[in-house]
Amino acid sequence: MDFQFLSWFPLYSVLLFLRTLVFMQILQCSSHPDEWYQSCGATFSCGTITGVGYPFRGNGDPEYCGYPNFLLKCSQENTTSIRLMNVTYRVLKIDQATQIMKIAREDVMDATCPRELVNTTFNYAVYDYTSAYMNITFLYGCPVSVKLQSPSFFSCGSKGYDSVDVVSGAQGPGNCNYSVVVPVLKTGTEGSVSLTHLDQLLQEGFEVRWKMDGKACSDCTRTGGRCGYSFSTNQTTCFCPGQPYLSDSCSATKRDSPGPDHLPTTSCQDDTQYVACAGRFRCANFSNLEYPFWGGGRTSYCGHPAFGLDCQGDVPLITLQSRKYRVLGIDTRSLLITVARQDLWNNTCPNLIYNTDLDYRLFKHPSSDENLTLSYGCGSLAVVPGTPYKFDCTVNGTSSSDNYFFTEATLAIAPPNCRNIISVPINQTSAQSLTTTTASQDDLQEVLKVGFRLNWEANDTNCNECARSGGRCGYNSTTSSFACYCFDRPYPFRCNETEPGNYNFPVCA
């Protein structure tokens, strides 16, 4: 640090020092903090275009590794293309030092007249022509009178137009159906268009310069970082090795850092939560779990308290209203969990008799679901001939045969005096299979095995907002409320974006 500077601006220096302390904590606590740095390492090479880096990115790179719309694609023939303002261009040359790219419309590479009736335009905030170019205009579907006046129409056969006129300069369609403006490199014969070499001229392309300041990126790479794009500031940013945050460059914080003997003695509490709740986790046969779930290797504060999983067996178990359920499916996108009662999963005769009870503030049944009724120790079903809906049951050593299952459609014939009755949610498919008079005990077991779905609500909208601000979702059991863990500390809802290091950032696909 510059100590002269420090004495002039003590407040600024203190702030800088505090910022450094926060950075030091992160360096100490994070385990896999540099996923952005790691994922943006690749350069693009294709055919004669080689080693191209930021602002460009290749087709497989994450969006944040390049400037928006600087996406390069490599064809099977090893030609490079880029799509700008609805026109695909063949990339002929990229010079990163001068920020100049030579491109030609892809649709003139094997035909003289543009096949896509779209003007060549650019986002002039990002691109500029280099001076050495001129416009030519293709006129499609012109009336005969125009053709007679014009010396330069020729056959093109494009999109049903059997002839196309070519004039110099940018022009509107006038009496013709369409006009398409294409820039070409300026030649000696200024102002006039030579038809004989037109296709050659078009395929040679023209030059554009990208205007964004390259300094931000060169500062970054010079200090050992990799350039990327922040969708929160809409600017080039820097990913540094071993660091979970974005900055302008990498070595600045190292240079400003106090030596190891000046390390802060404060605990890493806040950052620990941010680190512990990163990414997805595995539980039994599920590998992609995230908030509101926790369990297995994932600490409880990373999830909602009601969504703890027991990951010991082959399927996760979840405890709802102190009863155990097998987790058969989780769909985090639609917030749907499929569960089956653990006690009924391979057994129609539970030792303990209880209804399927849920916390309806957290879970909702799909509206088409209904209740299956299991009745134990009833009299015989006098009304109906035969013995439909019947199942055997041996509980506590005593066997009883007067046990029945009923769906809503068959519940009317249920005998009134059963010893125990429980209800279990089932979906419509299951209900139908148990309503037919041939439904057997095996059908019943099958239905209990496939379980039922529940729609959950566990502050998931809060979580989306938190994640968008760069935080990681969790729950504060002290305050019984959602928590958003950010790199500096937990926040109630979202990271404080005015703090350095907290940014909106897309999640890696």
Find where tokens 């590479």 sit: 109
What does the alpha-carbon distance between residue 268 and residue 172 come to, in Å, rounded to a whole number? 65
Residues 311-350 that bind ligand NAG (CB under 6 A): 346-347
Among 459, 487, 488, 501, binds ligand NAG (CB under 6 A): 459
Distances (CA, A) of 16 to 21, 253, 258, 324: 9, 10, 11, 52
What does the alpha-carbon distance between residue 461 and residue 202 come to, in Å, rounded to a whole number? 52
- Looking at the DSSP bridge assignments, the partners of residue 128 are 209
Q: Which stretch binds ligand NAG (CB under 6 A): 56-64, 117-125, 202-210, 316-324?
A: 117-125
CB 130 within 8 A of CB 100: yes
Of residues 150 and 251, the one with the C-beta less far from ligand NAG = 150
Total residues at the site for ligand NAG (CB under 6 A)? 53
CA dihedral 222, 228, 233, 234 (to 10 degrees): 120
Q: Which stretch binds ligand NAG (CB under 6 A): 33-41, 115-123, 209-217, 433-441?
A: 115-123
* Beta strand spans in 96-218 (E): 100-105, 127-129, 133-140, 153-158, 161-168, 178-185, 206-210
Residue nearest to ligand NAG (CB): 172
Residues 393-422 that bind ligand NAG (CB under 6 A): 395-396
Residues 131-170 that bind ligand NAG (CB under 6 A): 134-135, 170
Of residues 407 and 462, the one with the C-beta less far from ligand NAG = 462
Identify residue 355 by its one-letter amino acid code.
N
What does the alpha-carbon distance between residue 245 and residue 292 come to, in Å, rounded to a whole number? 24
Supply the minimum distance, in Å, between the C-beta of residue 3 and ligand NAG.
Answer: 25
Site for ligand NAG contains 252 (CB under 6 A): no
- Looking at the DSSP bridge assignments, the partners of residue 405 are 374
Supply the minimum distance, in Å, between the C-beta of residue 474 and ligand NAG.
Answer: 7
Find where tokens 């964004």 sit: 212
Of residues 35 and 369, the one with the C-beta less far from ligand NAG = 369
What does the alpha-carbon distance between residue 245 and residue 230 come to, in Å, rounded to a whole number? 11
Of residues 25 and 223, the one with the C-beta less far from ligand NAG = 25
Among 336, 341, 344, 300, CA closest to 324: 341
What does the alpha-carbon distance between residue 408 and residue 266 come to, in Å, rounded to a whole number? 62
Supply the minimum distance, in Å, between the C-beta of residue 147 and ligand NAG.
Answer: 19
Per-residue interface string for the shown chain with ligand NAG, residues 419-458, x marking contact by CB under 6 A = ----x-x-xxxx-------------------x------xx
What does the alpha-carbon distance between residue 97 and residue 479 come to, in Å, rounded to a whole number? 55
Supply the minimum distance, in Å, between the C-beta of residue 472 and ligand NAG.
Answer: 12
Site for ligand NAG contains 180 (CB under 6 A): yes
What does the alpha-carbon distance between residue 275 and residue 403 come to, in Å, rounded to a whole number? 53
Q: Which stretch binds ligand NAG (CB under 6 A): 114-122, 258-266, 281-289, 378-386?
A: 114-122
Sheet containing 490-491: order of strands:
472-476, 481-485, 490-491
Residue 219: which residues within 8 A CB-CB, separation 6 or more? 238, 248, 249
Site for ligand NAG contains 85 (CB under 6 A): yes
DSSP 214: S
Among 391, 482, 487, 505, binds ligand NAG (CB under 6 A): 482
Supply the minimum distance, in Å, between the C-beta of residue 152 and ligand NAG.
Answer: 18
Residues 193-222 that bind ligand NAG (CB under 6 A): none
Q: Phi, psi at residue 306, to the nearest 5°?
A: -80, -5
Identify residue 235 by its one-letter amino acid code.
Q
Among 145, 351, 417, 438, binds ligand NAG (CB under 6 A): 351
Of residues 221 and 338, the one with the C-beta less far from ligand NAG = 338
3-state secondary structure of 156: strand
Supply the minimum distance, in Å, between the C-beta of residue 4 and ligand NAG.
Answer: 27
Site for ligand NAG contains 116 (CB under 6 A): no
Among 81, 130, 168, 476, binds ligand NAG (CB under 6 A): 476
Cα 305–Cα 461–Cα 496 angle in degrees, nearest 5:
95
Of residues 112 and 179, the one with the C-beta less far from ligand NAG = 179
Residue ranges that bind ligand NAG, judged by CB under 6 A: 77-78, 85-86, 117-119, 134-135, 170, 172-173, 178-181, 233-234, 301, 346-347, 351-353, 361-362, 365, 369-371, 395-396, 423, 425, 427-430, 450, 457-459, 462, 476, 478-479, 481-483, 490, 496, 498-499
